[in-house]
Amino acid sequence: MTTETTPVIGVLALQGDVREHLRALETCGVRAVTVRHADDLERVSGLVIPGGESTTMWRLATTFELMEPLRKRIEGGMPAYGSCAGMIMLADRILDGIDGQETIGGIDMTVRRNAFGRQVDSFEADVSFHGLDTPYHAVFIRAPWVERVGEDCEVLASVATGAAAGRIVAVRQGHLLATAFHPELTGDTRVHRYFVELVKEA
Amino acid sequence: MSTTPASAQPENSATVTGPATGTARVKRGMAEMLKGGVIMDVVTAEQAKIAEDAGGVAVMALERVPADIRAEGGVARMSDPDLIDSIVSAVSIPVMAKCRIGHFAEAQVLQAIGVDYVDESEVLTPADEAHHIDKWAFTVPFVCGATNLGEALRRIGEGAAMIRSKGEAGTGNVVEATRHMRGIGAEMRRLSTLRGDELYAAAKELAAPYELVAEVARAGKLPVVLFTAGGIATPADAAMMMQLGAEGVFVGSGIFKSGDPAARAAAIVKATTFYDDADVVAKVSRGLGGAMVGINLDTLSEDQRLAVRGW
């Protein structure tokens, strides 16, 4: 990919808030397409894994033989961004998954599913996001958090206040980005722009 | 909409700085995360596990599936909290539970025991013939049934964060769900063709809040997620509803009243994702054993119809 052409970025469309990510990406001036088959992956230069239910995405990705193609592309350097369930999918290790639950992996981190609690504990709050000038208003829905990160994994944001203060909720490792929250629900496209830059640089 | 708390309006949430729970954005957002998924009725922890293993995005914890409620009759109420607890402990996916229409105390109990979504449901016996629950007053989000656009917007006006078609639950017959999905879609398409000054009369006809009518006319869709429910029994039923504009599927009696629940559940999950790919729907429809027998709606008397409950 050269930076002159408009990048094509895919959104994994097995389940979840696919439309919101497509819209956020289009607002950033890239072409956004859905990815449901292994063939679709060949047409994109970056991939967003949306919010949704990680166990459902894993089941469907396994049944429709997407796990290995996804791993290959990510190992091969394709930029990827996961929000919430997408963060779980990009984690090398997970806690509180269901029996046998696998991830695509790529980011050297341990992510705990549903770490903040049940839906009544879902919340929105400002977080300071490394690389953004002003706080980012983040929406957390039955969200995971990052328990541990490896040496190469950069922490971009943590929870500021409350019982979960200090918990890691956004990370980057090379061409891979993950947030525990949902930038696609807020209309603030700065996190998507951050990812689009990663795709353009790749 | 003057009764709506300002903090519950999504457009105002951007001004919130500290952690805020129970906002319209986190309630509606939860439903966004369920899109493209299948929510399955379960009556035991074992069934909940089967649903989770089949790829369900959430389960609906019940004492009896609608087909049995129909068969046994009597007053149908909120499930025993112990049963709901056992299902909550069995799975890691979200757990929903039903309360009776207008029964805000049942809803308070469901919120207190930590269910992730409350379904104010016509499948249970209504507790109030005039008032639905004021859903803005809760931290837990609500899904409500609707047979048409006006009903959907009235529920959203009361704070529902997700809408589903009513269908005719427990029949294994999609004809009512089809009517509701087509009706809601057609009414939304009609609104988007109206002039701005015609929307006031449209709001009057729909008996719905003007602000929500104007919002639908502008966006061409509901301001919350729209699922389908009522009579879905096969992968093709799910695929049809998705093609008619559903953003996801509730399956009630259709799974655990069938010959091979695990296989049927997994097949409906796949058909919901690949709803527009007939090759996939064909492939997953094979070898599922018997579907639930079902009821021809012409044989149902008026007092046995659930979709007419609520208004």
> Which chain A residues are Cβ-neighbours of B34 within 8 angstroms?
52-53
A60 has a chain B CB within 8 A of its CB: yes
H or E stretch covering A88: helix A85-90
Mean pLDDT, residues B167-193: 93
CB contact under 8 A, A137 and B36: no
Structure confidence by residue, pLDDT tens digits, A178-195: 999 999 999 999 999 999
* β-pair partners for A93: A110
pLDDT given at position B17: 54
- Is 0.80 surpassed by the pTM of this model? yes
pLDDT given at position A34: 98
Structure confidence by residue, pLDDT tens digits, A63-81: 999 999 999 999 999 999 9
Q: Does B247 score more than 90 pLDDT?
A: yes
Structure confidence by residue, pLDDT tens digits, A37-63: 999 999 999 999 999 999 999 999 999
Mean pLDDT, residues B139-148: 97
Predicted confidence band of residue A25 (pLDDT cuts 50, 70, 90)? very high
Predicted confidence band of residue B13 (pLDDT cuts 50, 70, 90)? very low
pLDDT given at position B167: 83
Neighbours of B72 (CB within 10 A): 9
Predicted confidence band of residue B6 (pLDDT cuts 50, 70, 90)? very low
pLDDT given at position B105: 98
Predicted confidence band of residue A109 (pLDDT cuts 50, 70, 90)? very high
- The residue written with tokens 């996801």 in the block is B248
A86 has a chain B CB within 8 A of its CB: no
CATH topology of domain A8-201: Rossmann fold (3.40.50)
Predicted confidence band of residue B18 (pLDDT cuts 50, 70, 90)? low
A122 has a chain B CB within 8 A of its CB: yes
Residue of A nearest to B96 (CA): A119
pLDDT given at position B1: 35
pLDDT given at position B263: 96
Mean pLDDT, residues A154-181: 95
Q: Is A28 among the residues known to form the active site? A: no
Q: Tell me whether residue B247 is exposed, middle or buried, using C-beta atoms within 10 angstroms of its C-beta: 0 to 12, 13 to 18, 19 or more.
A: buried
Q: Is A184 among the residues known to form the active site? A: yes
Query: Would you state the structure tokens that stand for residue A123, as one six-digit string?
Result: 């919340």
Q: What is the residue extent of each domain of chain A?
A: 8-201
Q: Above pLDDT 70, what percent of chain A?
A: 98
Residues B295 and A147: their CA atoms lie apart, in Å, by 51
ipTM surpassing 0.90, yes or no?
yes
In this structure, what DSSP letter does residue A30 have?
Answer: S
Catalytic residue among A20, A21, A28, A84: A84
Contact indicator for B181, B148 with CB cutoff of 8 Å: no
Residues B124 and A41: their CA atoms lie apart, in Å, by 45
Q: Does B5 score more than 70 pLDDT?
A: no
Mean pLDDT, residues A85-98: 98
- Nearest-Cα distance to chain B for A137, in Å, is 7
pLDDT given at position B188: 98
Mean pLDDT, residues B56-85: 92
- The residue written with tokens 């009597």 in the block is B74
Strands A91-95 and A107-112: parallel
pLDDT given at position B15: 46
pLDDT given at position A4: 61
If interface means Cβ-Cβ distance under 8 Å, which residues of chain B face chain A? Answer: 13-14, 16-23, 25-26, 29-30, 32-37, 52-58, 91-94, 111, 114-117, 139-141, 266, 269-270, 273-274
Question: Mean pLDDT for chain A?
Answer: 96
Nearest partner of B70 among B311, B309, B265, judged by Cα: B309
Q: Does B305 score more than 90 pLDDT?
A: no
Residues A16 and A19: their CA atoms lie apart, in Å, by 9
- DSSP of chain B, one letter per residue? -TTS-GGG-GGGGGG--S-EES-HHHHHHHHHHHTT-EEEEESSHHHHHHHHHTT-SEEEE-SS-HHHHHHH-S---PPPHHHHHHHHHH-SS-EEEEEETT-HHHHHHHHHTT-SEEEEETTSPPS-SS----GGG-SS-EEEEESSHHHHHHHHHTT-SEEEE---TTSS--HHHHHHHHHHHHHHHHHTTS-GGGHHHHHHHHTS-HHHHHHHHHHSS-SSEEEB-SS--SHHHHHHHHHTT-SSEEESHHHHTSS-HHHHHHHHHHHHHTTT-HHHHHHHHTT--PPP----GGGS-GGG-STTS--
Q: How many residue contacts between A and B have a Cβ separation below 8 Å?
A: 137
pLDDT given at position B14: 43
